[in-house]
Structure 1
Amino acid sequence: MNKFWWGSGGGNERGIHWLSWKRMCTPKCFGGLGFKDLRAFNLALLGKQGWRFLTNPASLVARVYKARYFPNSSFVDAVIGTNRSACLRGIFAAKDLICGGIRRRIGDGTSTQVWNSPWLPDSNPCIQTPQPSYLSNAIVSGLIDPNTNEWDEEVLMDIFEPRDVELIKRVPISPSYADSWYWLDDLRGIYSVKSGYKRIWGVVTPLTDDFISWNKVESVSHVFICCAFAVNVWRISHIDIPDGARLSFSAWFEQILNTLDAKEIIKVAAILYAVWSARNSAVWEAKVPTPASVVALAGRAVHNWQLSQPAASPTGNTHEQLPFPLSFSRCHVDVAYDSGLGKATAGVVLVRPNGEFVAAMSTPLPYCDSVIMAETVACKEALSWLKDRNEEAVVLLTECAVLCANLCSSLEIMSYIGIATKECRRLMSSIVSCLVLYIPRSDNFLAHALARDCFSSLQDVILFWDVVPPSSIMELLI
């Protein structure tokens, strides 16, 4: 492949290899060319077979291999012996990859062992408390109060260390569902060759020391938030951004989405692009622009983008264009979410077709490991509230396009999002006429303002408003 890439005419001509194969295979986000590393890609392909052994044990191939090579254990616990085939050796070569990226999704807890399974929402997903001898075969369902279907806190405090207690209490319980496996690196919880390849590059691939040190210095957060150049750019921009010193870039950007309005978010996106262009100019062309020129470039980009947008409708009523009957009441839903703590608050506002306020609700949500999980749980809470109010014709409006796609899709979702999505579908079927549709944040300002206000006030109780709207959205209704 080196000869093909660097050759200059075919035949026996030999071109200069300007980059090492290791650097060529380094992902683009780390400064490489993004060629596939053949060994890593083959390992990711083999991981697909291991994933099928794990999630589809009733298949003919899985039953044959289990009966032949590990009849008394599961794929996770199996140890390759001396009497093995070449196919089995290949599949087991990817066993560490699969086992490192899987987690147990707790339903009723009857098929998950407390000490021997990765089921906690943490980078170290196993129980760290020493195992008492009398609990050698303990299962998760033994930690659940059968009367309330919640974690039995007295049992947890008696057995586990504080770290494990806090992590266990974050795990949602769904007694109507069986325990299952899901893939940690995918939103739907399903292994793919692409996600397996990314995990190999992030965990397994042996990079050279100089590249590792360079990568640590130039992390995404460092480039866009923490380096001296980026700090000066944000200072000149006069945008009130959150402190990103102790946050990952994704967590920092989620706070941006939760705290800034739409116009400021567009400016932030333009500045991020301008900072990245400045970084590339410095790395590849040895030219370092000034922070002021970067801000000016971002400003021109925003201006050009605004000029390219179609003119707004003269009526300004976007709801007339949405695909639902005008006689339906509108229920706006949004969440405020802190990815660092997994904390979320939902805001729900119900209005009549003419825009008249009917009712509102805000509620703290249980621990959510992603903003998509928070949006899905918020939708479930809103639908439950609408059902209790006996609403018969309502459209639920959310700015989460992924949630709408999940509700319309027939594809299986194996992560915790899947359970919440199924509950949403069940609640929708219990309402006479109910739709869930996507709208942009600019049209979802009522729920967004309510969720953000209740989140910032640190209220851990469910609040309801009837007739008189909350003060945080009263001016927006006028």
Structure 2
Amino acid sequence: MELFLEINEKTGRNLQGLKQHLLSQSGKEVMIKSVALSLNTYATSHFKLPAAYHTKLRQDLTHFFWEGHEGRNHICWISWRRLCKSKERGGLGFREPQLQNKALLGKLAWRLWSDPTSYWAEYLKQLYFPHTTFLDASLGSNPSWAWRGILEGHKVLTSSPQYRPQQRVFVAELIDEENQTWRMDLLRELFHPEDVAAIIKIPLSLFLEADHQVWGEPVMPISLRRFGSRYGNARLPPKIRNLLWRACSSGIASRIALSQRNILVGTACPRCGHPEETVDHLLLDCAFARAAWFGSKLGFSPPPDNPQLSSVIQSWIDWSRVEKKQGQDIAGLAAYMCWNLWKARNALVFNGVEGSPLEVISISENQFQEYKAALQKPAYTAPRSTFELQQELPTYCRPPPLNGFKLNIDAAFSKDHSSLGYVIRNDKGSIIVAVSEPLQFASILQGEALAIRHGLILSISEGVEWLQVESDNQQVIRLINSDSPPPFEIASIVKDIKLLMTYIRTCSFSFIPGEINSVADSLARRAKSVAGTTSWPVSTPWL
């Protein structure tokens, strides 16, 4: 413990040097993630730190996050375990120190195992396991602290069923090399039917390649009903997002919440005298809150019987999916209403200020409009010549050069059906080929990559020498144009795309807005009504 005491002391000094009472909880969240949990990254990447160190760090961070003013007792309204969950799962995304230590050591062990030809891996092999593999390596008689840490990461790897040698199956054994398809007989023999359905959605590479280890990706639930996935990405100040998250997590000091923690206060609402002041009551059901909601521009009337804030927030998000701009305004104003209703309640309890619903409405609407105005970029356009304007047209607004072609692609993906659409145009804008293709894949990102691969194969067969590929999926374009390794689900497809590019003299990839990509989108959707790959006549009216 003494060896790593300096890190603890440095973390403590950084936290104590901050004016805690001047930081909102969103500010504290940023400081914990960017400062406190980052100071020990180097040490935890190489050594297994003592449990006492992790416990002390966890206590310091909890105290810093929940303490309001120096010298006063504080309440931890939400457990540290809940705070360490990702925002998609309803937490704040803090890192549990002990699990972070294990994860970083596991990453170090993974690097040693997956790249045994590197200099440092060969050195460690000669030193600690010269006659065996890394998975069978032992501690030895005189291990260093670094080797002890690597073996802790070794435990992380070997504890997962997918990395146990006795259960390993080579991918090459599951593939019919002649047809480049999955061997369904072997899949059904070795795997559960649900796993078989997932495996056959993995696209196979067009080119043979050696087996290699890949890092197992986490399985995320399909439907996340937590607040983080519903409101976490809204365009709101962090302090308001934080309040709404705490309100949905029973993490604010309503009188019912205080009494549940054995604090001797009355449970009645200080405004209307309702016997139980819950979060849902003070923000939605109190007569004061109902008057504010109904009198606002929203004209909203909370449900008459036991309204729940989480359900109301879900209705705002559902509306924003139907009418995006209007829905964002509704959700934003509603969030400011909740913020100012909470502030009005605290002004009554602590300062005796009665306030009125009209004040809450006026302040909320003004604050929301000010925030919207602050987000808008100033509209200024310097005078340009006609030539300059033509040169600055987006790429998708310019025709390809003489004898050049454009390939537009899109993918449609749902639980029950998935399909591709791709269209090739010449330098005059005329359609040369338009294809709809039903195809199984596991995600929209995978579908977009597959559509590009299939479109390239079609372009090569048409003898295209100059090609510009356009997609409305920015992520797949960025991955293709980047040298960094893509996610596992599309790694083989991206590799195929880069190899197919070499068959075309000039080939580039660019992102375009979805409204410009309407023909490829229509082709992908039309594939739902066809039995197999369909090449549409260029005289088709909707093309």
**Same fold, judged at TM 0.5 (above):** yes
2:458 is matched with which residue: 382, 385, 388? 385
SS of structure 1 residue aligned to 2:213: strand
Q: Relative contact order: is structure 1 or structure 2 higher (C-alpha 8 Å, sep ≥ 6)?
A: 1
Instruction: Return the letter of the residue paired with 1:402.
Output: Q
CA distance in 1, matches of 2:339, 2:161: 36
Kept in 1, the 8 Å contact 2:450–2:493? The answer is: yes
- Worse-superposed segment, 460-469 or 166-175: 166-175
Say whether 1:142 aligns with 2:173. yes
Once the two structures are superposed, what CA deviation does each residue of 1:396-452 show, in whole Å capped at 9, x if it has no partner? 111222222222223344724222112112212212332221112122122122223
CA distance in 1, matches of 2:107, 2:478: 25
| TM-score, with structure 2 as normaliser | 0.55
1:179 is matched with which residue: 211, 214, 224? 211
Say whether 1:464 aligns with 2:474. no
CA distance in 2, matches of 1:275, 1:323: 46
Structure 1 segment 289-438 matched on structure 2, within 5 A: 318-319=394-395, 325=401, 328-338=404-414, 340=415, 344-368=418-442, 370-413=443-486, 415-438=488-511
SS of structure 2 residue aligned to 1:181: coil
Once the two structures are superposed, what CA deviation does each residue of 1:79-124 show, in whole Å capped at 9, x if it has no partner? 65676432222123334555678979xxxxxxx97x713xxxxxxx
Once the two structures are superposed, what CA deviation does each residue of 1:238-284 show, in whole Å capped at 9, x if it has no partner? x675xxxxxxxxxxxxxxxxxxxxxx445555566566666766788
| TM-score, with structure 1 as normaliser | 0.61
Kept in 2, the 8 Å contact 1:395–1:434? The answer is: yes
Cα drift, residue 307 of structure 1: 9.2
Quick check: which one's helix share is greater? Answer: 2
Kept in 1, the 8 Å contact 2:400–2:427? The answer is: no
Once the two structures are superposed, what CA deviation does each residue of 1:305-350 show, in whole Å capped at 9, x if it has no partner? 6996989x99998557559646532221111123x56x53111122
CA distance in 2, matches of 1:140, 1:32: 37
1:116 corresponds to which residue? 167
Say whether 1:228 aligns with 2:301. no
Say whether 1:166 aligns with 2:197. yes
Change (3 A) 1:167 1:266: same
Structure 1 segment 250-269 matched on structure 2, within 5 A: 264-267=323-326
Kept in 2, the 8 Å contact 1:396–1:437? The answer is: yes
Cα root mean square deviation, aligned: 5.0
Instruction: Return the letter of the residue paired with 1:172.
Output: P
CA distance in 1, matches of 2:460, 2:424: 13
Kept in 2, the 8 Å contact 1:347–1:447? The answer is: yes
CA distance in 2, matches of 1:215, 1:72: 57
CA distance in 1, matches of 2:328, 2:18: 41
> How many residues are paired up?
376
- Worse-superposed segment, 427-436 or 19-28: 19-28
- Worse-superposed segment, 269-278 or 324-333: 269-278
SS of structure 2 residue aligned to 1:396: strand
SS of structure 2 residue aligned to 1:182: coil
CA distance in 2, matches of 1:33, 1:447: 39
- Worse-superposed segment, 427-436 or 405-414: 405-414
Change (3 A) 1:335 1:146: closer
Once the two structures are superposed, what CA deviation does each residue of 1:16-54 show, in whole Å capped at 9, x if it has no partner? 574769489747848877766544444444334223112
Q: Which runs of 5+ in 1 are unaligned?
A: 105-111, 118-137, 187-210, 217-224, 242-263
CA distance in 1, matches of 2:309, 2:404: 48
SS of structure 2 residue aligned to 1:228: helix
CA distance in 1, matches of 2:482, 2:18: 49
Change (3 A) 1:326 1:103: farther
Change (3 A) 1:229 1:426: same
Larger Rg: 2
Cα drift, residue 155 of structure 1: 3.7
Over the matched positions of the two proteins, sequence identity in percent amounts to: 23
CA distance in 1, matches of 2:184, 2:419: 24
CA distance in 2, matches of 1:93, 1:48: 11
Kept in 2, the 8 Å contact 1:330–1:394? The answer is: yes
